[in-house]
Structure 1
Amino acid sequence: MAGLRRGHAKSRRAERVALPLAGGLTAALLVVMLYYPVGTVLVEAVTSNGTVSLAPLADVLTDPFYVGALADAVRNPAGIPAGLAAWLRRPDIPGFGLFGFTVWQALLSTAASLALGLPGAYTLARFEFPGRGALRSLTAVPFVLPSIMVAVGFVAAFGKTGPLNDLLRGLGLPTIELVFTLEIIVLAHAFYNAPLVVRIVAAAWESVDARAVETARSLGASPTRAFRDVVVPQLLPAIATGALLTFIFTFMSFPIVLALGGLKLATVEVWLFDRVQNLELTEAAALAVIETAVSLALTYAYLRYEAAATRGDRVATPLPREPLIGPPDLRRVGLLAYGLVVAVVFVLPVASMLAASVAAPDGGFTIRYYEFLLGQRAAPSATKPGVAVRNSLLFGAGTLALAVPMGLVLALASLREGLAARLVGVAAMVPFAVSGVVVGFGLLEGLVFGVEAFGTRLAVAGPVAIVAAHAVGAYPFVVRNVAPLLGGLDRRLVESARALGATRARALVDVEVPLIAPGIAAGAAFAFAISIGEFDSTVILAEGSDAYTMPVAVERYLTDRTLGPATAMGSVLLGVTAGSFLVIDRLGGRYRE
C-alpha cells in the first residue's frame, strides 16, 4: 500500500513539472527555429569583417537601385525635398527603386483587392441566397491555398495558350501576353486577398445596428443619406483593417511575383532570394533586416489599429437580408456583372489549371501528366515528382508533430494574466510579420551552414531545417484555433477535477483536451495544409539538394516551360487544400467566426 502511495506521489510530481517543462521546451524550440535564425540575419547585417558596422545597411539605403531618388536624400538629408519630388515624379522601378516598386505593387494590389472584395462583402451581408453559407466558408480558402498554385492557375488562364487568348483568336483579335506583367501580378494578388476583405467587411456589415439606420430614416434621411452617415462610418474600420492586412501580405508576397514577374518585376522578397542564390549573403542580410523592420512596423500598426477599432463593441440588431433572386433592379444587375467578373478572376484560373492538366498538346484528353507524377513517365528535368510528393508528405507529418504541441502550449500560456501572457501573444504573431524568405535565409545561415561551439561545428540537415521552417509558419494557426475554445471553457469543470485530486496536467488531458479537440483538429489541418503549400523558406533550403517539395517542383516546372506537369501537380495541391479546408470548415475553430 505504501508503495502504491509512493507511486501516486511520484506521478503527481511528474505531472506538476510536465507543463513547465513543456513550456520551457516550446520556448527553446522557438529560440532555435525562429529567433536565433532571424537574429543571425540581423548580426550579418550589422557586421563587417568581424566588427560591428552599419555599412551593409548604409550600402542598401544609399543605393539608387534599392531606394531610387531617395538615395540622395539619405546621403544628403538637406536635399530631401528635391529628392522626394524626383522620386514622386517617376512611379516605376528606376524612379522608385526596389523598395518603391514593392510598395507600388502592394498599393495597386490592395486597391484591386478592395475593388473585388467590397461588392462581395455587400452581397454576403445584405442578401440571402442558396449557397450563401458555403460561399462565406470559401472566404477562408486563402489561409490554406498554396500561392504557387495560384500562379500556376493564372499562367494556365492568361498565358499564350490559355482560354483568354483562345477566345481572342476565335474572335479574330490580337492576343495579349499578360505573364511577366505588373497587371497579372496585381490580379493574382487580388485573387488571393479579396476573400480576406470580403470576410472582414461582411462581418462588420452584419454587425451594423439596424436601429441606428431606422432612427436616421425616421428623422427624414434618404436611404442613401442613411447609408452614408450611419453605415459607412461603421464599415470604415473594417475596410481599413482589410486594406492594411492586404498591403502587408502583398508587400511580402514572394511565389506569385517570382512565378509571374521574375527578376523583371522583382520585389524585395524576390531580389532577396536572388541574392541568397548568388551567395551575396551580407547584402541579402541587410535587405532582409530592412524589409523585416518595415513589415514589423506595419504589423504593429495593424495590431494597434485593430485593438482601437474593436474597443467598445456592443450588441447590435443586424440589418435584415433580402432575397438576391427577385425583380431586376440596378443593384441586382450590378451584382450580376460582378458575378461575371468573379467568374473570370476566381473561377477561370482554377478551371484552366484543372483543364490544362488533362489537355494533350493536340487538343485531346490525356492523363500523361498524372502518370508523370506517379513516376510512370520519364521526368523532363532533374526534378522528380515522386521525390517531391514524398518529401511534402514527410515534411507535413513532421510539421504536425512540432506545430500542434507548440500551438497547444502557447494557447494555454496566452490565457494567463500579466506580462508573460502578452509576450506569448507577441511570440505567436512574429511569424506573420517575418517573411518565409527571411526565416529560410536565417535557418540556412544559422543551422544548415552550422555554428561553432566548443570547437565543433553544429549543423542540421536541410530537411530538418525545412520542417522547422514549416512549423514556424504553422503553429500560430494552431494557437488561433485552440485559444478561443480554451478561453470559452467553463472553468468550473477544471476546478471540479482539481478538487477531486487531479493535477493541472491531468485536468488538461482528461477535461480540457476532449472539449477543445475540434479546435486542435482544425489547427492540425491548417498546419498540414500550410506545410504542403509552403514555398518561401523551402525554395531556399532545398536549393542544390533532393529536399524539394511539390510547390518547389511546380515552380521549377514553370521555369522549364513544362506547363502540363506544373498544372497536374498544382491540381494535386488543390486536392490536398480542399481536403484540409473541409476539415477546417467542419470543425470550425477560430475561422468560423
Structure 2
Amino acid sequence: MRKFRRDLILLIIMGGCFYLPVFFVLAQAFWGADAWASLWQFIRSGVFRNTLLFSLSEALLSAAFSLVIALPGAYFFGRYDFPGKRLLRSWLAIPFMLPGILVVLGLVIFYGKNGVFSQWLAGLFPEAHWEMNYLYSFWGIVLANVFYNFAFCLRLLGERWEKIDPRLSEASQLHGAGALETWLRVVWPLLRPTAAYLFTMVFLYSFLSFTVVLILGGYLYKTFEVLIYIEFNSKLNLSGAATIAALQMLLLAGVLLIQGMLARSAAAYSNFQAERPALSFRRQPLATVLFLTYLATITLFFMSPLIAVIARSFQTQSGSAFTFINYASLMGTGFTFAIGKSFAQVLGSSLSIAFIAAFSTVAFAYLVAWFRREEPWGWLDLLCQLPLGFSFLTFSTGLAGWVGRLLPGWILVIWAQIFLAFPLVYSVLRTARREMSRSLTEASAVLGAGEVETFCRIEMPLMLKPLQTGFSYAAAISLGDLSAVLVLGKGEVVTLPVAIYRLIGHYHFPAATALGTLFILFSLLLYLGIQGQVRNPSGMGN
C-alpha cells in the first residue's frame, strides 16, 4: 500500500508538471469549437504541404549527410588506436553540445556572403568572383543540421565499431572474401542497427529544428516548430498553434515508435573489447594520410566557424586590427538599445535561470530516483522518459495557454526547461543510484547511523559525481534554450541566446561575436564538467 501511494503521488506530480500542458494542446486541437474543421482546413492548405515537404526533405538529407560524413571517421576511431584518441573524440563532440544559436552565429560569420570563407575564396581565386550565397537557403539549413549532428553520429558509430570483434573480418578474409565483401557482409550488418538508430535520431532533431530554420529560413522555409511559434507569438493564435502542434505529434508518433525499437536493437550488442593496432605512418602510411586529411577537412568545415567567431570578436568591423572594443560595446548603450536589457541584466538572468532550472531538475530527478532505488525499471521510469517524445514548442505552447496568464515569464521558462532536461538527468541519476552498492548503506545502518547520517556521509559522497553531471547537463540545456524564452518569456526575459538572436537580427555582428565567445566559454566549461564525470557515472572509484 505504501508503494502504491508513493507511485500515485509521483504520477500526479509528473502528470501535473509535464503532461497537462500537452493534454491542453490536444484538447485545443481536437475538442475545441470547430476544431476538426480547422484541422482539416490546415491539412488541405498549401502551407501544410510546403512545410511537410520541406521538413521531410531537409531532415532526410541532414540525416543522410551526417552519417556519410561520420562513417570514415568512425572507421578510424573504431579500427585503430592513436595518441590523443580520447581527447580528439571529446573535441569533435563539442559542436553537438553547443546551443543552436551559437552554431548559427558561427555559420554566418564563416559561411555568410561576407564571411571568412568567401574572403578566402576571393583571395585564392580573384578572377572567379566566387562567394558563398547559399547560407540563407535550403542547403544552408542542411549544412547547419549536419554541422550540429555529425559529431554525435561519429562518436556513437566509432564506439560501436570498437566493439566488433576483428576476428570476424579476419575469418571472412581467410575464406577468400575481399575487403569490400567483408565490409558488406560482416561489418555493415553489425553496424546497421546503430546507423539506423542514428539516422532516425538526426531525422527527428532536424525535423524539429527551430533556431536554425527561424534564422536561416526567413519567410521561405519553415518547419512545424517555426509555424507553431509564428501562430502563437506573432499571430497570437493559440488554437492555430495547438492544431499544428497536435498534427506534428501525430506525424512523429510512428517515427518515435520506430526510433524506440531501433534504440533497443542498437543496444543489443556485445561489449567486446580488443586491442587495436596503433595507427602509425611507418606501418599504415596510406591510412595515416587519409586520417589526417579527414581530420583537416573536418576541422576546416566544422570547427572553423567556431574559431572564426572567437577570432572576429577581437577584430574591428573591417577585420584588420586587434581590439577589445567589441567586448567594451557590450557595456554600452548601443547594446542596451538593441537588446532591451543591459549586459549585466542579460548575464544575470541567464545564470540565475540556469542555476534554478538545473538545481530544481536535479533535486526532482534525484528524489524520484531515490524513491525508486529498490525498484526495477518499469512503467514509471518510462513515464519519466516520455517527455523526450514531445516537441518542446508543443509543451511550451500548452504551458502558455494553460497557466501563461497566471505566472510570470521567468517561472514559465524555468518550468519548460525542467521539462526538457528532466528525462536526461533522471536517466543519469537513476542508473547511478541503482549501481551504488547497497552493502555500504546497510553497513552504515548496522553501525547505528540513522537515515539522515547515512544519506549525508555515505550516499551523497558516492552520488556527487552523477549529481554534478546531471547539474551540468541541465545547466547547459537551460543556457542554450531559445524557444522557451521566446514563447514564454513575454518579451521580458532576455537570456544570452535571445540577446545573440536580437544582435544578429540588428546586424550587430561585432557585438554578437563577443557575446558568442563568452557563451562558447560557458558552454565549454559545462562540457568539461560533463566529460570529467561521465566516465564514472556511479560516482564510485577514483
- How is 1:208-357 mapped onto 2 (pairs within 5 angstroms)? 208-277=164-233, 278-311=235-268, 313-318=269-274, 320-326=276-282, 329-357=285-313
Structure 1 residues 488 and 447: alpha-carbon distance in aligned structure 2, compared to 1, 3 A threshold? same
| Equivalent residue for 2:419, pick from 472, 475, 489 | 472
Deviation at 1:519, TM superposition (A): 0.8
Corresponding position of 1:103: 56
Corresponding position of 1:409: 367
Deviates more, 1:369-378 or 1:186-195: 369-378
Could you list the runs of 5+ residues in structure 2 that have no partner in the other structure? none
Deviates more, 1:211-220 or 1:165-174: 211-220
Corresponding position of 2:436: 489
Corresponding position of 2:358: 400
| Equivalent residue for 1:582, pick from 517, 525, 528 | 528
Verify the 8 A CA contact 1:180 1:265 in the aligned structure 2. Answer: no
Structure 1 residues 339 and 427: alpha-carbon distance in aligned structure 2, compared to 1, 3 A threshold? same
Whether 2:36 is the aligned partner of 1:54: answer yes
Structure number with larger C-alpha Rg: 1
| Equivalent residue for 1:542, pick from 475, 479, 489 | 489
Whether 2:27 is the aligned partner of 1:43: answer yes
Amino acid at match of 1:36: L
| Equivalent residue for 2:119, pick from 163, 166, 169 | 166
Equivalent position SS for 2:133: coil
Verify the 8 A CA contact 1:519 1:587 in the aligned structure 2. Answer: yes
CA distance in structure 2 between the aligned counterparts of 1:575 and 1:279, rounded to whole angstroms: 36
Deviates more, 1:338-347 or 1:203-212: 338-347
Structure 1 residues 296 and 516: alpha-carbon distance in aligned structure 2, compared to 1, 3 A threshold? farther
Amino acid at match of 2:237: E
Deviates more, 1:164-173 or 1:240-249: 164-173
Q: Deviations over 1:88-124 (max 9, x none)?
A: xxxxxxxxx2112101100111111112211121121
Verify the 8 A CA contact 1:389 1:550 in the aligned structure 2. Answer: yes
CA distance in structure 2 between the aligned counterparts of 1:25 and 1:571, rounded to whole angstroms: 44
| Equivalent residue for 1:525, pick from 468, 472, 476 | 472
CA distance in structure 1 between the aligned counterparts of 2:266 and 2:373, rounded to whole angstroms: 22
Amino acid at match of 1:40: F
- How is 1:393-472 mapped onto 2 (pairs within 5 angstroms)? 393-412=351-370, 416-417=374-375, 421-449=377-405, 459-472=406-419
Structure 1 residues 474 and 21: alpha-carbon distance in aligned structure 2, compared to 1, 3 A threshold? farther
CA distance in structure 2 between the aligned counterparts of 1:493 and 1:537, rounded to whole angstroms: 42
| Equivalent residue for 1:149, pick from 102, 106, 111 | 102
Deviates more, 1:166-175 or 1:203-212: 166-175
CA distance in structure 2 between the aligned counterparts of 1:373 and 1:344, rounded to whole angstroms: 29
Deviation at 1:555, TM superposition (A): 0.9
Give the TM-score taking structure 1 as reference length.
0.83
Verify the 8 A CA contact 1:263 1:270 in the aligned structure 2. Answer: no
Q: Deviations over 1:21-50 (max 9, x none)?
A: 99777655533432111211111111333x
Verify the 8 A CA contact 1:26 1:406 in the aligned structure 2. Answer: no
Deviation at 1:220, TM superposition (A): 3.0
Deviation at 1:481, TM superposition (A): 2.1
Structure 1 residues 520 and 317: alpha-carbon distance in aligned structure 2, compared to 1, 3 A threshold? closer
CA distance in structure 2 between the aligned counterparts of 1:512 and 1:292, rounded to whole angstroms: 40
Corresponding position of 2:324: 367
Corresponding position of 1:83: none
Corresponding position of 1:455: none
Could you list the runs of 5+ residues in structure 1 that have no partner in the other structure? 1-16, 68-96, 450-458
Deviation at 1:412, TM superposition (A): 3.7
Whether 2:528 is the aligned partner of 1:565: answer no
CA distance in structure 1 between the aligned counterparts of 2:256 and 2:442, rounded to whole angstroms: 37
Verify the 8 A CA contact 2:18 2:419 in the aligned structure 1. Answer: yes
CA distance in structure 2 between the aligned counterparts of 1:480 and 1:139, rounded to whole angstroms: 24
Deviation at 1:163, TM superposition (A): 1.0
Give the number of aligned pairs: 532
Verify the 8 A CA contact 2:200 2:259 in the aligned structure 1. Answer: yes
Deviation at 1:500, TM superposition (A): 5.0
Corresponding position of 1:10: none
Structure 1 residues 236 and 414: alpha-carbon distance in aligned structure 2, compared to 1, 3 A threshold? farther
Structure 1 residues 491 and 328: alpha-carbon distance in aligned structure 2, compared to 1, 3 A threshold? closer
Structure 1 residues 547 and 373: alpha-carbon distance in aligned structure 2, compared to 1, 3 A threshold? same
CA distance in structure 2 between the aligned counterparts of 1:591 and 1:111, rounded to whole angstroms: 32
CA distance in structure 2 between the aligned counterparts of 1:165 and 1:189, rounded to whole angstroms: 21
Structure 1 residues 433 and 321: alpha-carbon distance in aligned structure 2, compared to 1, 3 A threshold? farther
Verify the 8 A CA contact 1:210 1:317 in the aligned structure 2. Answer: no
Deviation at 1:414, TM superposition (A): 5.7
Structure 1 residues 406 and 534: alpha-carbon distance in aligned structure 2, compared to 1, 3 A threshold? same
Verify the 8 A CA contact 2:432 2:537 in the aligned structure 1. Answer: no
Amino acid at match of 1:563: F
CA distance in structure 2 between the aligned counterparts of 1:503 and 1:61, rounded to whole angstroms: 62
Structure 1 residues 20 and 144: alpha-carbon distance in aligned structure 2, compared to 1, 3 A threshold? farther
Equivalent position SS for 2:528: helix
Equivalent position SS for 1:264: coil
Q: Deviations over 1:328-364 (max 9, x none)?
A: 7544443333223202221111011112222212332
Deviation at 1:427, TM superposition (A): 2.6
Amino acid at match of 2:328: E
Structure 1 residues 21 and 47: alpha-carbon distance in aligned structure 2, compared to 1, 3 A threshold? closer
Structure 1 residues 157 and 430: alpha-carbon distance in aligned structure 2, compared to 1, 3 A threshold? same
Deviation at 1:583, TM superposition (A): 0.9
Amino acid at match of 1:65: V
CA distance in structure 2 between the aligned counterparts of 1:152 and 1:25, rounded to whole angstroms: 44
Deviation at 1:232, TM superposition (A): 1.5
CA distance in structure 2 between the aligned counterparts of 1:291 and 1:188, rounded to whole angstroms: 22
Amino acid at match of 1:188: A
Equivalent position SS for 1:386: helix
Verify the 8 A CA contact 1:209 1:319 in the aligned structure 2. Answer: no
Verify the 8 A CA contact 2:316 2:326 in the aligned structure 1. Answer: no
Structure 1 residues 520 and 58: alpha-carbon distance in aligned structure 2, compared to 1, 3 A threshold? same
CA distance in structure 1 between the aligned counterparts of 2:139 and 2:484, rounded to whole angstroms: 26
Deviates more, 1:347-356 or 1:379-388: 379-388
Deviation at 1:256, TM superposition (A): 1.1
Structure 1 residues 442 and 423: alpha-carbon distance in aligned structure 2, compared to 1, 3 A threshold? same
Amino acid at match of 2:229: F
Deviation at 1:425, TM superposition (A): 2.5
CA RMSD, aligned part only?
2.7
Structure 1 residues 358 and 389: alpha-carbon distance in aligned structure 2, compared to 1, 3 A threshold? same
CA distance in structure 1 between the aligned counterparts of 2:414 and 2:138, rounded to whole angstroms: 33
CA distance in structure 2 between the aligned counterparts of 1:506 and 1:29, rounded to whole angstroms: 28
Verify the 8 A CA contact 2:209 2:225 in the aligned structure 1. Answer: yes
Equivalent position SS for 2:315: coil
CA distance in structure 2 between the aligned counterparts of 1:190 and 1:274, rounded to whole angstroms: 25
Amino acid at match of 2:513: T
Give the TM-score taking structure 2 as reference length.
0.91
Deviation at 1:461, TM superposition (A): 0.6
Deviates more, 1:524-533 or 1:324-333: 324-333
Equivalent position SS for 1:262: coil
CA distance in structure 2 between the aligned counterparts of 1:142 and 1:343, rounded to whole angstroms: 11
CA distance in structure 2 between the aligned counterparts of 1:130 and 1:317, rounded to whole angstroms: 18
Deviates more, 1:481-490 or 1:187-196: 481-490
Equivalent position SS for 2:136: coil
Amino acid at match of 2:23: G
